[in-house]
Amino acid sequence: MAREPKEPKRRKKHHFIRKTICGLLLAVALFIGYCSVFGMPEAPADTIYKRNGICNILLAGTDEGGMRTDTMMLLSINDKEHTVTLLSLPRDTYTEGYNPPKLNSACASAGGGEAGMRQLRGEVQSLLGIIPDGYVLVNFDVFKDIVDTFGGVKFYVPMDMDYEDPAQDLYIHLQQGYQKLNGEQAVQLMRYRSGYAMADLERVNVQRDFLQAALDQWLDPWLIVKAPIAAGTVYKDMQTDLSPGNCIWLIRALLQCDIAQLDTQTLPGTPQYINGGSYFVPDAAAIEALTAAFDPYEPTW
């Protein structure tokens, strides 16, 4: 009888050791992928946080045209506590000054690219009270290639998904159920929203769950060897204002955290209809309470 309580502890210890080993392997693999694109860094990796070891990076994914940021998240890394938080920002978040007045209009209104991300970063600052320390912008083609590189992701599709929009060259046809999704199917899952009762809010939750599932499955010793290929794909095609040293620092900081314990959040707010349109109206008080942990500050640059 005395041995039974100890058994879960041994499994937990083995689980931790496995994750630690996988993390080290992934660090090496990502570094190899990085160096294959940029070459060996000549100087030590620089840091990008300003205070208390907390760094906030704006992540955005665009459609094929590179304008509509249909996926937006804030990645917050606490390098002292070794924790990671991923805050999803619904694309329909009500944001005045655009047509339509939605957060995903900000980047497109400035023509996309670097100027568009500066515009979006300013809106995120107004929304959260935090200006991101940097940004990473990728299109869904890159996401598709990464999923295919790792051999797909096993995931439960919550409902039958059927939607077509020839103007966007968007065709979504997925069946409900647990299955392995390839890159093209993963993109369809990430972009689908029309059939959800709460539209973009539910899509954000599905996107978040899918990313968590992908991380859990890719942190496997047999798959980590593919990380250099995936890293090379990302580094070649992404747009970012992060320096090479910043990227190395981020890899190191992320891998000191337990990615399996990733804290995922969605911007507080409520879906509403305004002038016949569907929007997500942010809750300012709840946002202030949530982002206090992200250590808001005014940067010096």
Q: Domain holding 263: CATH number?
A: 3.40.630.190
Handedness of CA 78, 79, 81, 86 (dihedral sign): positive
pTM (2 d.p.): 0.77
| Residues of the chain falling short of pLDDT 70 | 1-51, 64-66, 199, 221-225, 227-228, 259-260, 295-301
Residue 282, preceding bond cis, omega within 30 degrees? no
First to last CA, the chain: 62
Establish how many alpha carbons lie within 13 A of residue 122's alpha carbon, considering only the half-sphere containing its beta carbon. Answer: 12
Residue 299 lies in a domain: no
Number of domains in the chain: 1
Q: Which domain holds residue 66?
A: 8-294
Residue 77 lies in a domain: yes
Residue 301 lies in a domain: no
pLDDT tens digit sequence for 7-34? 444 444 444 444 444 555 555 555 555 5
pLDDT at position 64, please?
Answer: 61
